[in-house]
Structure 1
Amino acid sequence: MSHFSHQKDLQNIIKRYLAGTATAEEIKFIEKYYAFLGEGENEIGETHDINNLEQETFQAIQAKIASQQKSKVLSLYKFASAAAIFILLCGGLYFLLDKNSSKSPSNSLAKIENLDILPGSDKATLTLANGSKVILDDQTPENISDKHGVKISKTKDGQLVYTVVNNENLPNSTAFNTIQTPKGGQYQVILPDGTKVWLNAASSLNYPEVFAGKKRSVTLTGEAYFEVAKDKDKPFHVLTQNQNVEVLGTHFNINGYLDDHTIKTTLLEGAVKVSNLKSTKKLKPGEQAISGISENALIKVTSQVDTDDEIAWKNGLFQFNDTDLKIILNQLERWYDIKIDYSSIPDKRYNGMVPRKSKLSEVLKMLEKTGNIKFELLENRSLKVIPKNN
């Protein structure tokens, strides 16, 4: 999936859409926003001036939609809304909308002072088999280790890469490494078999330097997205809290944060088998397995899942679809490394999308847009949620 959070990528998506060469995924991305706008109020078309270049973009989009949907009568307001969305996309900005709020005046935004906490970044700690630790950040040298016939290196764009360079020196008993991201961190690992793993904030992955034996096994806490290298003779296993996910080669996301008290496995491609002591379920693409974290938790499978929402974090986005405010705040807490006072969280649900590159203040201002909630950041990076009277 494309990394829609980058400005250049967004501009290219618009160009391909207008040229009729966009992929099905890119068209879905654009149309999802268009349908999203029609569900509730928005003030974007009213509050953003459109310069000449943006006006040309608007007119091109208008003509494109009109030619593709001749049977639909679309108002000028919706065209303006669609144009505004693309203008925001070109700038790398998104908006957040409270599903249950009524329209509020533009001056209803609560003032947020000194909330300029920067977003998370590519950083992690690598613990080698001998117990030594390597801090992974921009200052880490490219070559980290070259032992046991395996080279461990770091790329400039935040990837940890394992390469088997000498099969004769591979150990009989595999040495295990652990990569751990802090709050406010993320990292990507390419394992010795070519499997790619994206690790979300406050997560860890324990894995062997070389996959010996008849299966490949790793242990995950937190959340990760996997693109497993195919090997029919060596199944890939991801172990989480009292649960095992078995695959041969596939793309899937596992969300197993212990403080969420649930484990969610979402399949995008291929097939996986999710099991614990209580039950075993097989997933098809577009399905999600949900269970508690206890060893006897019942595993439920649903097809009522938006896979884009589940892997938005991997593509640099916060993406919400009728999402409870507490779940949103959980994500912000991990990504911005803050502490949140959950004692007075109002019952609110949101739709929308925000780049994970945004400063905390930008995200909170979007949440405050409803006029019914405000935030106060204390000196110890604690965030207080203050419901407002309607």
Structure 2
Amino acid sequence: MEKEELHKKLDNFLAGNNKESVDGELFSLLVRMDECRKKACPPNKERMWKHVRNALKLSRRRELMRKWAVAAAIVMPLTVGLCFYDYRSDEVVPVPENMGKRHQVSLTLNDGRVLQVQQWNNDSVIQESGTGILVSVGQQMIYHAEKVQLKEEIFNTLSVPRSTEYQVQLSDGTRVWLNSESELRYPVDFVSTERKVFLRGEAYFQVAKDTNKPFRVVVNDMMVEALGTGFNINAYQDDNCLRTTLVEGKVRISYSDTRQECILVPGEQAVLKEGVLTSGQVNVDDIIAWKKGRFVFSDMPLEIIANQLERWYDVEIRFDDTVAKYYRFTGVMKRYNELEQVLGLIEETTNVRFKVEGRQVKVFRNL
């Protein structure tokens, strides 16, 4: 019965149905399969079947052979990506046509190696100081801590450039959505008495509950502490303030410079600007719309809108007329629309016009 359940989990994973909830049993299976792939490299199908069967001690081989064949077909192509990690190969991994060098999500390992995780064409499993990392093509990264006792925390850094967004599931089960031009530094396994991560840019956190280890996010001199909570932090430097918005649960915001502190309830936002910490009610759905693939601008100055468009479309927006910065716009648009579509909608209801020249956008008032 247990084997049938494990087999069902693998089928769902290969079909892309449960990549957000990889448990320890399934993760161990993926690691074993990858080890089998290495032993059978260069590819030898008969040897690979043997290693897979022996590792999992399967019965009913005839019935399961067809489905394990699918699993092997997925694992065998991982050779190039994993050799790149384990043996520091100089071989260049092909970049998909729709992924330019400017927009590569990168993972910096503890030893300083920088890996371009979106270059691979197949899901990959790698190891970092006893912690397994499942990299799902173009979607997310999942950490699963093995039974290895680390004496100190080992950190990774995930960097998401402009025009991109990415997800990571930390070793404690906490899920993080990173917006464009953002960076998260975190332990591969939380071995300390607290779970502390460091953020630059914007991210949404769905924190796994652990009453014995508080979860803390450090942003410059501000700290957000949570227990079993969903919240969004916006800390882009060009916005000149830090915003924490609570969706569910409870968080404590503290600012060390002035020892200010506040506790948020769902639907509230804390803003740290020019050394002053304030809080108030906001529309949460508008704040986290980026996570659902939407731009939501509610009576927003064009200067603030321009900052968001620059990060997402990787362009530079220049206001030839300073007054135009303060014009306001309200609208909801898909983030995956072409830039020209978004600019066109703004032009229809605002007294401005845009001129696109390559990666530069000029803004003029209609006089």
Q: Same fold (TM over 0.5)?
A: yes
Give the whole-Å Cα distance in 2 for the aligned partners of 1:343 and 1:212.
53
Q: Secondary structure of 1:299's match?
A: strand
Give the whole-Å Cα distance in 1 for the aligned partners of 2:245 and 2:350.
34
* Alpha-carbon shift at residue 373 of structure 1 (Å): 1.2
- The higher relative CO (CA closer than 8 Å, separation ≥ 6) is in 1
Equivalent pair of 1:122/1:137 in contact (CA under 8 Å): no
Give the whole-Å Cα distance in 2 for the aligned partners of 1:197 and 1:371.
35
Query: Hey, what does 2:205 align to over in structure 1?
Result: 226
Structure with greater helix percent = 2
Query: Hey, what does 1:388 align to over in structure 2?
Result: 366
* Alpha-carbon shift at residue 226 of structure 1 (Å): 0.3
One-letter identity of the residue aligned with 2:180: A
Q: Secondary structure of 1:326's match?
A: helix
Give the whole-Å Cα distance in 2 for the aligned partners of 1:298 and 1:309.
24
1:126-146 deviations in whole A, cap 9, x for unaligned? 101111111122535422521
Q: 1:175-324 maps to which residues of 2 (within 5 A)? A: 175-277=154-256, 278=258, 279-292=260-273, 297-303=275-281, 305-324=282-301
Give the whole-Å Cα distance in 1 for the aligned partners of 2:203 and 2:261.
21
Q: 1:39-118 maps to which residues of 2 (within 5 A)? A: none
One-letter identity of the residue aligned with 1:174: E
Query: What is the TM-score of this pair, normalised by structure 2?
Result: 0.69
Query: What is the TM-score of this pair, normalised by structure 1?
Result: 0.65
Query: Hey, what does 1:98 align to over in structure 2?
Result: none
Give the whole-Å Cα distance in 2 for the aligned partners of 1:337 and 1:144.
31
* Alpha-carbon shift at residue 259 of structure 1 (Å): 1.2
Tell me, which stretches of 5 or more residues in structure 1 are unaligned? 1-116
Q: Secondary structure of 2:165's match?
A: strand
Equivalent pair of 1:140/1:154 in contact (CA under 8 Å): no
Q: Secondary structure of 2:290's match?
A: helix
Query: Hey, what does 1:162 align to over in structure 2?
Result: 143
1:300-320 deviations in whole A, cap 9, x for unaligned? 0101x1111110001100001
Equivalent pair of 1:152/1:163 in contact (CA under 8 Å): yes
Query: Hey, what does 1:367 align to over in structure 2?
Result: 346
Query: Hey, what does 2:69 align to over in structure 1?
Result: none
* Alpha-carbon shift at residue 156 of structure 1 (Å): 3.4
One-letter identity of the residue aligned with 1:385: V
Q: 1:339-358 maps to which residues of 2 (within 5 A)? A: 339-345=316-322, 346=324, 347-358=326-337
Equivalent pair of 1:122/1:158 in contact (CA under 8 Å): no
Between the aligned residues of both structures, percent identity stands at 40
Give the whole-Å Cα distance in 2 for the aligned partners of 1:312 and 1:147.
33
Report how many aligned residue pairs link the two structures: 265
Q: 1:326-337 maps to which residues of 2 (within 5 A)? A: 326-337=303-314
Q: Secondary structure of 2:158's match?
A: strand
Equivalent pair of 1:148/1:170 in contact (CA under 8 Å): no
CA root-mean-square deviation: 2.1
Tell me, which stretches of 5 or more residues in structure 2 are unaligned? 1-97
Give the whole-Å Cα distance in 2 for the aligned partners of 1:128 and 1:118.
22
Give the whole-Å Cα distance in 2 for the aligned partners of 1:369 and 1:311.
25
